Amino acid sequence: MTDQTDENKSSNAMWGGRFAAGPDAIMEAINASIGYDQRLYAQDIRGSRAHAAMLAAQGIISDKDAEAIGEGLLTVLSEIEAGGFPFSTALEDIHMNVEARLKEVIGEPAGRLHTARSRNDQVATDFRLWVREQCDAAITGLDTLIRAALTRAEDGADWVMPGFTHLQTAQPVTFGHHMMAYVEMFARDKSRFEDARKRMNECPLGAAALAGTGFPIDRHATAEALGFDRPMANSLDAVSDRDFALEFLSASSICAVHMSRLAEELVIWSSAQFRFVAMSDKWSTGSSIMPQKRNPDAAELIRAKIGRILGASVALFTVMKGLPLAYSKDMQEDKEQVFDAADNLMLALAAMAGMIGDMTVNADKLEAAASGGFSTATDLADWLVREAGLPFRDAHHVTGSLVAMAEEKGCDLPDLSLEQMQSINPAITESVFDVLGVHNSVASRQSYGGTAPDQVRAQIARWKEQLG
């Protein structure tokens, strides 16, 4: 075990001669971020290698030193990936931990690595690289989820189910149409991550502490080496904003809301009262005392993830809202929430795709439910407008009277006789029964984006072509 005094001396050495004594234990605890920012090790080493190569190309350090730094950093990388790296809180963060170990590995050339940069632009670069990778992961996860939903939509393009407003039966729709609503939502989520990734793809490295540097660095070279489109154009902005992380959290929050809504429906649909779907054993749990129970725990946990993800967004907005330019230590609090939100988003995406792909849909239950609750009442009102020439408000009133009659007789609208309907309005003819069946109802909804099976299939085909 490393002696605390030695660690403090090491920390003091990294800081230079400014401080005569190390921080006490409380200050060390509040100041250190290595407990969580060690997750940035790969990005930190990648950025440092690009920086060292650029320094050599510009003649700022020798090729020999740059080569030693590059190889030494790879050694440090392998040590961390092997799991035995001795992270030290006395060294505060991932940057100092890596640099201190690099010095142990290669000696004096390690001290030249930090030429023409600051921990301010270093951490901004590391964090931006990490968030960019999370955007890529979210895009991939959403693509998988969208494809799973498309498959279920295609399976159920003809399956009739109740469409709801206020969770009350409203009009018949197809199961495929319902699933395609989520395809559209998740596709917008995917586009938000793509858009955020494009906007964040500028490199802070070379902004130094806040004002740039007097060394003849080539920021375009480091930007290109790290896969950025360009260097950030203002050094103050480069080190002081975290809007890229806020955008990621905002997109994650919206995506989590969409998953939470679908998860809520899966919870309802899998209940004994609905039985629209059945979740497989992979995504369900039992009860410790009720042997009949099959609990949709995975869906419930996905439903809850929005709490953590939105909470992370609120936390970072709160951290950033009052900070003057440029860097403030408050910004050390920018990572834990983002790490947690990203982890939970990816877990939820994977679980949701698995559940959607694995669930059993009970088409008979869907159709039986669609046929109840007077779901074709709007079709009847529309028929009265088209065929009987009634103003819609009058048609609405007539339909309401017919619904009341059916309720009184304990039947649905298609079960009323023509004579019973004509007692309410004599203009009603036999052809009204053509619109009262649920299959007729959904087939008639031919407007673009409507629930008719051929419209649903057209949308599925469009998305299949778009996804490739």
pLDDT at position 171, please?
85
pLDDT at position 287, please?
53
Under 8 Å between Cβ of 329 and 93: no
Active-site position among 166, 288, 417, 431: 166
* Residue 177 appears among annotated catalytic residues: no
Q: Label each residue of the chain as H, E or C.
A: CCCHHHHHHHHHHHHCCCCCCCCCHHHHHHHCCHHHHHHHHHHHHHHHHHHHHHHHHCCCCCHHHHHHHHHHHHHHHHHHHHCCCCCCHHHCCHHHHHHHHHHHHHCHHHHHCCCCCCHHHHHHHHHHHHHHHHHHHHHHHHHHHHHHHHHHHHHCCCCEEEEEECCEEEEEEEHHHHHHHHHHHHHHHHHHHHHHHHHHCEECCCCCCCCCCCCCCCHHHHHHHCCCCEECCCHHHHHHCCHHHHHHHHHHHHHHHHHHHHHHHHHHHCCCCCCCEECCHHHCECCCCCCCCCECHHHHHHHHHHHHHHHHHHHHHHHHCCCCCCCCHHHHHHCHHHHHHHHHHHHHHHHHHHHHHHCEECHHHHHHHHCCCCCCHHHHHHHHHHCCCCCHHHHHHHHHHHHHHHHHHCCCHHHCCHHHHHCCCCCCCHHHHHHHCHHHHHHHCCCCCCCCHHHHHHHHHHHHHHHC
Q: What does the pLDDT profile of the chain (468 residues) look like in tens digits?
A: 445 444 444 445 555 555 555 557 787 778 788 888 999 999 999 999 999 999 999 999 999 999 999 999 999 999 999 998 999 988 989 999 999 999 999 999 999 999 999 999 999 999 999 999 999 999 999 999 999 999 999 999 999 999 898 988 878 899 999 999 999 999 999 999 999 999 999 999 999 999 999 999 999 999 999 999 999 999 999 999 999 999 999 999 999 999 999 999 999 999 989 999 998 888 876 554 554 557 888 999 999 999 999 999 999 999 999 999 998 998 888 999 999 999 999 999 999 999 999 999 999 999 999 887 677 788 888 888 988 888 989 889 988 998 898 888 888 788 888 888 889 888 888 888 887 888 888 888 899 999 999 999 999 999 999 998
* Residue 431 appears among annotated catalytic residues: no
Active-site position among 62, 78, 191, 287: 287
User: Please, is 382 exposed, middle or buried when counting C-beta atoms within 10 Å of its C-beta (0-12, 13-18, 19+)?
Assistant: middle
pLDDT at position 17, please?
53
Read off the pTM: 0.87
